[in-house]
């Protein structure tokens, strides 16, 4: 035990130094006891998890973990204390942590063991990996899309050429059939199937190799009106009533690509409403962006589908490629824009699209 005042002063200074190191650390530092209760929670940990230290001191560290790790933690601790079998202690690994608001995030966790006054304690240092993991995900996605793009180009050529051959030949043969014969109808059906197949290849190409947008200042309301009018000509969507309100200064966009975006959204709404119902479109400007909100009176997005709306090839329709919304997202991102989809409690589906203004 220290006795002299000098020694006490030195110890106090030393403790203050250590404390400031712990408190200024960017990484989260958490100390737990042998039963897993939190004894120290530095400001870095507060930032990571969204808890104040006084909210978590004394609680089980498992509250910082999502399931199933939360339930497994106590058993893991007990096994370690009993057998010394370590999975993280003394090693460190990438794990998933959970914030106060329930969101999970990736961290690198390293745990050291110490003995204080004969009691075993564990110090965990947590380094946030969110940015790195996000970047890795983005790079992986870009690489996958680039590969898909190359594949799609080859497939497009190797499929469209034979389609052209079959379509042309069957059309010539059809022209030579006696007018009114049954085979004339069959030939028309064959051509329709070929066109469906061609549309599938075109959809795949549009997603996998979207054209570079040719950006020009344009009035988004004109594109919306033209798109709604176009769809209303189609018997399947004639019962959909689109009302466009509000206005915004011109956006920088490619009119043709924007049309594809709105066609996809309107068709989704129309199909959700079984071809009949109201679609409301509001246009507004804010934060240098044009904000277009499209709402419908359909049944909304099924809960099971919400996480995967923009996943290519995911679909809830019995017939469909699952490329519509993922293409919409890709096209908007190519415009430096964005889309969010939600099902408000008031019902229906709401799509919020942001596009950069020509003169922000």
Partner 1 sequence: MSVIAVAEYPEMSPQMAEKSPPLQVLVVDDEPLIRWSLVEALGDRGHLVDEAGDGASAVNLLADGRRFDVVLLDYRLPDSNDLQLLEMIRNLSPGSTVIMMTAFGTPEMVEGALRLGAYRVVPKPFDVHDMEKLVAEAPRPARGI
Residue given tokens 């890709």 in the structure block: 330
H or E, element range at 100 = none
Q: Which x/- pattern over 209-248 shows residues binding partner 1 (rule: CB under 8 A)?
A: --xx-x----------------------------------
Apex CA 144: angle with CA 139 and CA 149, to 5°?
Answer: 125
Strand order in the sheet with 338-342: 240-246, 277-286, 289-296, 350-356, 338-342
Q: Does 282 bind partner 1 (CB under 8 A)?
A: no
Q: How far is the CB of 159 from partner 1 (least distance, A)?
A: 8
- Residue from the set 161, 181, 245, 338 that interacts with partner 1 by CB under 8 A: 161
Q: How far is the CB of 176 from partner 1 (least distance, A)?
A: 8
Q: Any idea what DSSP says for residue 110?
A: E
Q: Any idea what DSSP says for residue 203?
A: H
Which residue in 58, 59, 32, 33 sits closest to 119, CA to CA? 33
- Direct distance between the N- and C-terminal alpha carbons of the chain, in angstroms, rounded to an integer: 68
CB nearer to partner 1: give 7 or 158.
158
CB nearer to partner 1: give 208 or 273.
208
Count interface residues toward partner 1 (CB under 8 A): 24
- Residue from the set 143, 172, 236, 238 that interacts with partner 1 by CB under 8 A: 172
- Residue from the set 14, 96, 134, 175 that interacts with partner 1 by CB under 8 A: 175
Phi, psi of 199 (to 5 degrees): -65, -40
- Residue from the set 32, 61, 167, 294 that interacts with partner 1 by CB under 8 A: 167
Q: How far is the CB of 200 from partner 1 (least distance, A)?
A: 13
Span near partner 1 by CB under 8 A; candidates 99-107, 142-150, 159-167, 216-224: 159-167
Q: Does 171 bind partner 1 (CB under 8 A)?
A: yes
Residue 108's contacts (CB-CB under 8 Å, 6 or more residues apart) are 92, 93, 94, 95, 126, 127, 129
Span near partner 1 by CB under 8 A; candidates 140-148, 152-160, 227-235, 236-244: 152-160
Render 147-196 in DSSP notation, one character per residue.
Answer: HHHHHHHHHHHHHHHHHHHHHHHHHHHHHTSPTT-HHHHHHHHHHHHHHH
Q: Are 149 and 208 in contact, with CB atoms under 8 Å apart?
A: yes
Span near partner 1 by CB under 8 A; candidates 127-135, 182-190, 193-201, 323-331: 193-201
Cα-Cα-Cα-Cα torsion 208, 209, 211, 212, nearest 10 degrees, comes to: 100
Q: How far is the CB of 187 from partner 1 (least distance, A)?
A: 12
- Residue from the set 53, 59, 166, 263 that interacts with partner 1 by CB under 8 A: 166
Q: How far is the CB of 334 from partner 1 (least distance, A)?
A: 14
Span near partner 1 by CB under 8 A; candidates 116-124, 154-162, 279-287, 339-347: 154-162
Q: How far is the CB of 353 from partner 1 (least distance, A)?
A: 24
Q: Which x/- pattern over 196-215 shows residues binding partner 1 (rule: CB under 8 A)?
A: --x------x-----xx-x-
Show the DSSP H helices in the chain as ranges.
5-24, 43-49, 53-56, 69-83, 130-175, 182-208, 220-232, 255-272, 324-334
- Which parts of this chain interact with partner 1 (CB under 8 A)? 153, 156-157, 160-169, 171-172, 175, 179, 194-195, 198, 205, 211-212, 214
């Amino acid at each position: 035990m220290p006795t002299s005042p000098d020694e006490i002063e030195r110890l106090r200074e030393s403790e203050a130094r250590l404390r400031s190191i712990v408190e200024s650390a960017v990484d989260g530092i958490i100390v737990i006891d042998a039963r897993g209760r939190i004894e120290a929670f530095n400001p870095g940990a507060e930032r990571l998890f969204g808890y104040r230290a006084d909210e978590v001191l004394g609680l089980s560290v498992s509250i910082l973990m999502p399931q199933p790790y939360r339930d497994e933690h106590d058993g893991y601790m007990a096994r370690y204390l009993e057998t010394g079998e370590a999975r993280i202690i003394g090693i460190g690994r990438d794990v998933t942590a959970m914030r106060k608001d329930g969101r999970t995030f990736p961290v690198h966790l390293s745990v050291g063991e110490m003995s204080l006054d004969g009691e075993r304690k564990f110090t965990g240092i947590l380094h946030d990996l969110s940015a790195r993991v996000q970047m890795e995900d983005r790079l992986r996605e870009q690489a996958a899309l680039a590969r898909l793009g190359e594949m799609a180009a080859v497939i497009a050529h190797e499929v469209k050429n034979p389609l052209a051959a079959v379509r042309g030949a069957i059309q010539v043969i059809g022209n030579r059939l006696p007018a009114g014969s049954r085979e004339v109808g069959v030939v028309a059906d064959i051509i329709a199937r070929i066109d469906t197949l061609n549309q599938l290849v075109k959809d795949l190409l549009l997603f996998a190799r979207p054209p570079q947008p040719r950006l020009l200042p344009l009035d988004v309301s004109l594109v919306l009106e033209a798109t709604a009018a176009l769809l209303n000509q189609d018997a399947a969507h004639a019962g959909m009533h689109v009302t466009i309100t509000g206005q915004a200064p011109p956006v920088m966009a490619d009119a043709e690509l924007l049309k594809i975006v709105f066609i996809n959204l309107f068709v989704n709404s129309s199909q959700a409403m079984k071809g009949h119902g109201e679609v409301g479109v509001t246009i507004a400007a804010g934060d240098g962006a044009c904000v277009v909100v499209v709402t419908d009176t359909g049944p909304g997005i099924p809960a099971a589908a919400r996480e995967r709306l923009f996943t290519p090839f995911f679909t809830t329709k019995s017939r469909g490629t699952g490329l519509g919304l993922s293409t919409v997202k890709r096209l908007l991102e190519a415009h430096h824009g964005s889309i969010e989809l939600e099902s408000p409690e008031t019902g229906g589906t709401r799509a919020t699209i942001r596009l950069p203004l020509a003169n922000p």
